[in-house]
Structure 1
Amino acid sequence: MKTGFVYILSNKSRTTLYIGVTSNLMKRLTEHRAGLGGVFTKKYNVHELLYFEEVQGMLYAIAREKQLKNWHRDWKWNLIKERNPDLLDLAADWFHDKDASY
């Protein structure tokens, strides 16, 4: 069974959230940061990883993504803050291009 990842991205000012699903989190974040992640993430500069969870099976990951997208905004923030209370970019040290401004 293929592992899936459900993730939540935000912009630097933490005003916009984006929820997505992928089978390769590192690759998908690279795409988002390169402006290849889709219109929404590019338009709103949503590149910082605030939350992710690993889910066994892509169908379950897609179902979880849909569930989170239907949650109220406050519930999403509570979920993020449970694991990431300082709202840090969890992938900040995954990328070596320190000169890039996302």
Structure 2
Amino acid sequence: MREPVVYMMASGRNGTLYVGVTSNIRERAWQHRTGLVPGFTKRYGCRFLVWYELHDRMNEAITREKRIKAGSRIKKLALIESMNAGWRDLYEDFAP
């Protein structure tokens, strides 16, 4: 799947959040899940894909990512709750 996506990974329900952007959500989420990507998500255990938003163009996705990152934690939680109230790991939606 090659499509610009803004996404959030979490360490658990109401846990540590990470906001990112990618053109391949399945591969990127797998990298976070397995700890393949060194840095924030590995350090804080952000392994669960809890929210995503598809975009037509990468520049739009990047702009949206920056807005979300600049927003409050409460706004990030509201985005997650609006799409995924049960905090289900959405990676399964993309897994082969």
Which TM-score applies when normalising by structure 1? Answer: 0.84
Q: Using the alignment, how far apart are the partners of 1:73 and 1:85 within structure 2? A: 16
Which has the higher mean CA deviation after the structures are superposed, 70-79 or 84-93? 84-93
Q: What amino acid is aligned across from residue 75 of structure 1 in structure 2?
A: K
Please say if residues 7 and 20 of structure 2, whose CA atoms lie closer than 8 Å, have aligned partners that are also in contact. Answer: yes
Aligned residues: 95
Rg larger in structure:
1
Task: For residue 33 of structure 1, report the CA deviation from its aligned partner.
Answer: 1.7
Task: For residue 94 of structure 1, report the CA deviation from its aligned partner.
Answer: 4.6
Q: Secondary structure at the match of 1:20?
A: strand
Structure 2: stretches of 5+ with no match in the other structure: none
Q: Secondary structure at the match of 1:78?
A: helix
Matched residue, 1:73: 73
Q: Secondary structure at the match of 1:3?
A: coil
Task: For residue 13 of structure 1, report the CA deviation from its aligned partner.
Answer: 4.8
Runs of 4+ in 1 over 2 A off after TM superposition: 92-96
Which TM-score applies when normalising by structure 2? Answer: 0.88
Counterparts of 1:29-44 in structure 2, within 5 Å, are 29-44=29-44
Q: Using the alignment, how far apart are the partners of 2:39 and 2:69 within structure 1? A: 17
Q: Secondary structure at the match of 1:49?
A: strand
Q: Using the alignment, how far apart are the partners of 1:22 and 1:93 within structure 2? A: 16
What value does the CA root-mean-square deviation take over the aligned residues? 1.8
Matched residue, 1:10: 10
Q: What amino acid is aligned across from residue 7 of structure 1 in structure 2?
A: Y
As a proportion of its length, which structure holds more helix?
2
Structure 1: stretches of 5+ with no match in the other structure: 97-102
Matched residue, 1:49: 49
